[in-house]
Amino acid sequence: MKIKQVLGKVRKICEQFNLIEDGDKIAVGISGGKDSITLLTCLSMLKNFYPKKFELGAIAVDLFDGETDYTEIKKYCEKLGVELTVVNSKINKIVFEIRNESNPCALCANLRRGHLNTTAKKLGYNKVALGHHADDLMETLFMSLFYESRFNTFSPIMQLTNNSLKVIRPMITVFEKEIIAVSKDMPVIKNNCPADKNTQREYMKKLIQYINKEIPGVQKNILSAILHPERNNLYDKFIDK
């Protein structure tokens, strides 16, 4: 797998769902992990030839109040010609010390989104790009079904309520294994979250991987069912016509 193959998928999704429009100012949310760094790389490449012209920047929310070392990521952003803004926060302390959450992921995600979106709007961005990929899309669907009794997952583009910002997810057809293959030489920060590898999402990840081993190709089938307009039609079957 080469970065140009991932870029091809990103471009296709951008075109299919009109994720990028002329004059957009897009901020990539940088977690420091492989997903967001790969997305930043692809969008910086896309910017050079995409017919719709857009500006690109990056915003990192430091969960550890300035203790995270972004030196290599800053150098990488400079190489790409992208301005990186780092926002310090006390999210880790709030989630794990003050609130001592039994299910910390939801609160952490909400707080991170709040810092990211507020900063993006303040800096004049009109869109925030997130590095969610195909595996995330499927895991979210399974989590919603198992824990919330509903069919639901995130959209490739979403208008934020009471906010002028839109959130876009250009990598929803890129599988995690593809990201792993192309991000080996990228500056990735080790995940220091205390809950890493011990979450509901991690359980869903392992479950889907197990099913895919038993039924080869099932991940592609699930992804197709989510994205294909004629295959996601369960609700219509219960409507009297």
Residue with tokens 């208008």: 159
What pLDDT is attached to residue 70? 95
Of 24, 9, 34, give the one whose Cα is nearest residue 54.
Answer: 24
Q: How far apart are CA 214 and CA 7, in angstroms?
A: 30
Q: So what's the pLDDT on residue 238? A: 47
Q: What is the pLDDT of residue 205?
A: 93
Which amino acid is located at 113 in the chain?
R
Q: What is the pLDDT of residue 171?
A: 98
Compute CA distances 101 → 31, 83, 107, whole Å: 21, 34, 8
* pLDDT computed for residue 220 by the predictor: 93
Residues 132-146 as b/e (b if ≥16 CB within 10 A, e otherwise) read: bbbbbbbbbbbbeee
Interior CA angle at 123 toward 8 and 32, to 5°?
50
pLDDT in tens, 206-222: 999 999 999 999 999 99
Rounded-to-integer distance, Cα 197 and Cα 228, Å: 31
Task: Provide the 8-state DSSP code for 160.
Answer: P
Residues of the chain with pLDDT under 50: 237-241
Say what the pLDDT of residue 175 is. Answer: 97
Confidence (pTM): 0.90
Q: Give CB contacts under 8 A, 24+ apart, made by 10-17.
A: 10/39, 10/42, 10/43, 10/46, 10/170, 10/171, 10/174, 11/46, 11/50, 12/173, 13/156, 13/170, 13/171, 13/172, 13/173, 14/46, 14/50, 14/168, 14/170, 16/156, 17/156, 17/157
Cβ neighbours of residue 9 closer than 8 Å, sequence gap 6 or more: 171, 173, 174
Can you list the domains of the chain with their CATH numbers?
A: 3-234 (3.40.50.620)
